[in-house]
Amino acid sequence: MNRMRKILLATLLVCPSALWAASTSTWPMAPMEPNLQDLPSLQSGFRLYANYCLGCHSLQYQRYERTADDLQIPHDLVLENLIFTDQKIGELMTMDQDTITEEYKKRKIEAKGELEEDA
C-alpha cells in the first residue's frame, strides 16, 4: 500500500507541471488580423485546404455546398476542382483514404506545381 501512495503522490506532483509545460509556447508568432471580407484570399485558403489538408484533416461537420455558398464559389467549380472523390456537393467534407481516386492524385500533383509557380 505504501508503494501505491508513493506512485499516486509522484503522479500528482508531476502532472500539473507537465500540463503547464504543454500549455505554453515560446514560438515567436506574428500578429494576425483576419479579413473575413477578402473573398479571393478566403477562396484561395479553401483551395489550399482541399488540396493539402483535407486528406488527413476532415471537416466532418461542414458541407462542401455551404462552404462554396459562403465563399461565393460556383458549385460546378467546387465539384470539378475541389472534390476529389465520388462525393456530391451536399455531402460532408471528409475523405476516406479508400475513396481517393487516381484523378485526385493527378490533381494533387498539378496543384503542387501551381503553388510552386505562385511562390
16-25, 74-83, 108-117: least confidently modelled range: 16-25
Establish if 25 belongs to a structural domain: no
pLDDT value, residue 118: 57
pLDDT tens digit sequence for 65-77: 999 999 999 999 9
Establish if 19 belongs to a structural domain: no
Asked if 89 contacts 79 with a C-beta cutoff of 8 angstroms, the reply is yes
Query: Which residues span the domain enclosing 105?
Result: 39-118
Establish if 28 belongs to a structural domain: no
pLDDT tens digit sequence for 40-66: 999 999 999 988 888 778 888 999 999
Establish if 16 belongs to a structural domain: no
Establish if 80 belongs to a structural domain: yes
Extract the runs of DSSP E, i.e. beta strands, from the chain. 59-63, 92-93
Establish if 60 belongs to a structural domain: yes
Q: What is the dihedral of CA 79, 83, 89, 93, to 10 degrees?
A: -160
- Distance in angstroms (rounded) separating the CA atoms of residues 31 and 50: 25
pLDDT value, residue 21: 58
